[in-house]
Amino acid sequence: MLTREEATAILLEERLLLTSYIGVVVRNYHLSEDFFQDICIQALMKEEPFESREHLLNWARILGRHRAINFLKSREGRCLHLDEQTMEVLAEDWPKSESWNPVTLTALNQCLRKLTENNREIVRLRYLEGRTGSDLARHFGRKLATIYQAISRIHKSLGECIRIRLVNTELGSHD
Protein backbone atom coordinates (compact mmCIF):
# COMPACT_ATOMS: atom_id res chain seq x y z
CA MET A 1 0.00 0.00 0.00
CA LEU A 2 1.18 3.50 -0.84
CA THR A 3 1.19 6.27 1.72
CA ARG A 4 -0.25 9.65 0.72
CA GLU A 5 3.29 11.01 0.53
CA GLU A 6 4.38 8.19 -1.80
CA ALA A 7 1.29 8.68 -3.98
CA THR A 8 1.96 12.42 -4.17
CA ALA A 9 5.60 11.84 -5.10
CA ILE A 10 4.60 9.38 -7.85
CA LEU A 11 1.99 11.76 -9.29
CA LEU A 12 4.49 14.62 -9.37
CA GLU A 13 7.13 12.37 -10.93
CA GLU A 14 4.65 11.29 -13.63
CA ARG A 15 3.14 14.76 -14.13
CA LEU A 16 4.35 15.19 -17.68
CA LEU A 17 3.11 11.76 -18.72
CA LEU A 18 -0.31 12.29 -17.17
CA THR A 19 -0.79 15.80 -18.54
CA SER A 20 0.32 14.56 -21.97
CA TYR A 21 -2.17 11.70 -21.81
CA ILE A 22 -5.00 14.03 -20.79
CA GLY A 23 -3.82 16.52 -23.41
CA VAL A 24 -4.41 13.91 -26.10
CA VAL A 25 -8.09 14.04 -25.14
CA VAL A 26 -8.63 17.77 -24.54
CA ARG A 27 -5.93 19.07 -26.90
CA ASN A 28 -5.25 21.98 -24.58
CA TYR A 29 -2.24 22.25 -22.30
CA HIS A 30 -3.88 24.48 -19.71
CA LEU A 31 -6.90 22.21 -19.38
CA SER A 32 -4.70 19.13 -19.03
CA GLU A 33 -2.81 20.91 -16.21
CA ASP A 34 -6.12 21.75 -14.52
CA PHE A 35 -7.28 18.15 -14.74
CA PHE A 36 -3.93 16.93 -13.41
CA GLN A 37 -4.26 19.20 -10.38
CA ASP A 38 -7.77 17.87 -9.82
CA ILE A 39 -6.43 14.29 -9.99
CA CYS A 40 -3.81 15.14 -7.35
CA ILE A 41 -6.47 16.53 -5.03
CA GLN A 42 -8.71 13.51 -5.57
CA ALA A 43 -5.80 11.15 -4.87
CA LEU A 44 -5.03 12.91 -1.60
CA MET A 45 -8.69 12.86 -0.54
CA LYS A 46 -9.20 9.20 -1.46
CA GLU A 47 -10.08 7.11 1.61
CA GLU A 48 -8.58 3.80 0.48
CA PRO A 49 -4.83 3.75 -0.18
CA PHE A 50 -3.49 2.77 -3.58
CA GLU A 51 -2.11 -0.75 -3.73
CA SER A 52 0.85 0.07 -5.98
CA ARG A 53 2.36 2.58 -8.37
CA GLU A 54 0.57 0.88 -11.28
CA HIS A 55 -2.76 1.03 -9.46
CA LEU A 56 -2.32 4.76 -8.79
CA LEU A 57 -1.28 5.59 -12.36
CA ASN A 58 -4.07 3.52 -13.92
CA TRP A 59 -6.57 5.21 -11.62
CA ALA A 60 -5.15 8.65 -12.51
CA ARG A 61 -5.28 8.00 -16.27
CA ILE A 62 -8.87 6.74 -16.11
CA LEU A 63 -10.00 9.65 -13.92
CA GLY A 64 -8.21 12.14 -16.15
CA ARG A 65 -9.72 10.67 -19.29
CA HIS A 66 -13.25 10.69 -17.86
CA ARG A 67 -12.95 14.23 -16.55
CA ALA A 68 -11.62 15.43 -19.91
CA ILE A 69 -14.34 13.68 -21.91
CA ASN A 70 -17.07 14.95 -19.59
CA PHE A 71 -15.70 18.48 -19.93
CA LEU A 72 -15.70 18.22 -23.72
CA LYS A 73 -19.26 16.85 -23.75
CA SER A 74 -20.48 19.71 -21.56
CA ARG A 75 -19.02 22.25 -23.97
CA GLU A 76 -21.88 23.28 -26.22
CA GLY A 77 -23.06 19.67 -26.35
CA ARG A 78 -20.36 18.61 -28.76
CA CYS A 79 -17.46 16.34 -28.10
CA LEU A 80 -14.59 15.96 -30.50
CA HIS A 81 -12.27 13.38 -29.03
CA LEU A 82 -10.85 9.97 -29.84
CA ASP A 83 -13.43 7.19 -29.88
CA GLU A 84 -13.70 4.91 -26.83
CA GLN A 85 -11.94 1.97 -28.50
CA THR A 86 -8.96 4.14 -29.43
CA MET A 87 -8.83 5.55 -25.90
CA GLU A 88 -8.78 2.01 -24.47
CA VAL A 89 -5.85 1.04 -26.70
CA LEU A 90 -4.05 4.24 -25.77
CA ALA A 91 -4.68 3.61 -22.05
CA GLU A 92 -3.27 0.08 -22.38
CA ASP A 93 -0.15 1.07 -24.30
CA TRP A 94 0.62 4.43 -22.68
CA PRO A 95 2.49 3.11 -19.63
CA LYS A 96 4.54 0.72 -21.79
CA SER A 97 5.80 3.36 -24.20
CA GLU A 98 9.58 3.47 -24.05
CA SER A 99 9.64 6.89 -25.69
CA TRP A 100 8.05 8.37 -22.54
CA ASN A 101 10.83 7.55 -20.13
CA PRO A 102 11.70 10.29 -17.62
CA VAL A 103 15.21 10.86 -19.01
CA THR A 104 13.84 11.50 -22.52
CA LEU A 105 11.09 13.75 -21.18
CA THR A 106 13.59 15.75 -19.14
CA ALA A 107 15.78 16.15 -22.22
CA LEU A 108 12.77 17.29 -24.27
CA ASN A 109 11.78 19.79 -21.60
CA GLN A 110 15.32 21.22 -21.45
CA CYS A 111 15.53 21.42 -25.24
CA LEU A 112 12.15 23.14 -25.51
CA ARG A 113 13.43 25.83 -23.14
CA LYS A 114 16.33 26.48 -25.52
CA LEU A 115 13.99 27.31 -28.42
CA THR A 116 13.28 30.92 -29.23
CA GLU A 117 10.07 32.38 -27.81
CA ASN A 118 8.54 32.34 -31.29
CA ASN A 119 9.41 28.67 -31.87
CA ARG A 120 8.07 27.69 -28.43
CA GLU A 121 4.83 29.42 -29.36
CA ILE A 122 4.66 27.45 -32.62
CA VAL A 123 5.20 24.18 -30.68
CA ARG A 124 2.63 25.15 -28.06
CA LEU A 125 -0.04 26.06 -30.60
CA ARG A 126 0.65 23.09 -32.87
CA TYR A 127 1.08 20.28 -30.35
CA LEU A 128 -0.58 21.41 -27.15
CA GLU A 129 -3.56 23.15 -28.70
CA GLY A 130 -3.71 21.01 -31.84
CA ARG A 131 -3.77 23.92 -34.28
CA THR A 132 -3.32 23.14 -37.97
CA GLY A 133 -0.58 24.53 -40.17
CA SER A 134 -3.15 26.84 -41.77
CA ASP A 135 -4.21 28.12 -38.35
CA LEU A 136 -0.59 28.86 -37.50
CA ALA A 137 -0.02 30.65 -40.79
CA ARG A 138 -3.01 32.91 -40.11
CA HIS A 139 -1.99 33.43 -36.47
CA PHE A 140 1.57 34.47 -37.33
CA GLY A 141 0.67 36.22 -40.59
CA ARG A 142 2.99 33.97 -42.60
CA LYS A 143 2.71 31.72 -45.60
CA LEU A 144 1.80 28.08 -44.95
CA ALA A 145 5.09 26.89 -46.49
CA THR A 146 7.00 29.14 -44.09
CA ILE A 147 5.22 27.59 -41.11
CA TYR A 148 5.95 24.06 -42.32
CA GLN A 149 9.60 24.97 -42.81
CA ALA A 150 9.73 26.39 -39.28
CA ILE A 151 8.14 23.22 -37.87
CA SER A 152 10.63 21.09 -39.79
CA ARG A 153 13.55 23.12 -38.42
CA ILE A 154 12.12 22.90 -34.89
CA HIS A 155 11.81 19.11 -35.20
CA LYS A 156 15.38 18.82 -36.42
CA SER A 157 16.69 21.13 -33.69
CA LEU A 158 14.79 19.31 -30.93
CA GLY A 159 15.87 15.91 -32.26
CA GLU A 160 19.55 16.90 -32.28
CA CYS A 161 19.32 18.54 -28.85
CA ILE A 162 17.58 15.50 -27.32
CA ARG A 163 20.11 13.08 -28.83
CA ILE A 164 23.01 15.14 -27.44
CA ARG A 165 21.40 15.35 -24.00
CA LEU A 166 20.70 11.61 -23.91
CA VAL A 167 24.27 10.77 -24.91
CA ASN A 168 25.61 13.20 -22.29
CA THR A 169 23.31 11.67 -19.68
CA GLU A 170 24.67 8.21 -20.50
CA LEU A 171 28.21 9.55 -20.21
CA GLY A 172 27.44 11.25 -16.90
CA SER A 173 27.63 14.82 -18.21
CA HIS A 174 24.81 17.31 -17.69
CA ASP A 175 25.04 19.41 -20.85
**What per-residue confidence (pLDDT) applies to 79?**
47
Residue 16 has pLDDT above 50, yes or no: yes
**What per-residue confidence (pLDDT) applies to 139?**
94
**What whole-number distance in Å separates Cα of residue 15 and Cα of residue 148?**
30
**What per-residue confidence (pLDDT) applies to 30?**
80
C-alpha 33, offset from chain centre: 9
What DSSP letter does each residue of 36-96 carry, written as one string? HHHHHHHHHH-SSPPSSHHHHHHHHHHHHHHHHHHHHHHSTT---S--HHHHHHHHHHGGG
Residue type, 10: I
For 73-98, the pLDDT digits (tens) are: 776 555 454 455 655 655 565 555 54
For 3-12, the pLDDT digits (tens) are: 989 999 999 8
**What whole-number distance in Å separates Cα of residue 40 and Cα of residue 8?**
7
Residue type, 161: C
CATH architecture of 101-171: Orthogonal Bundle (1.10)
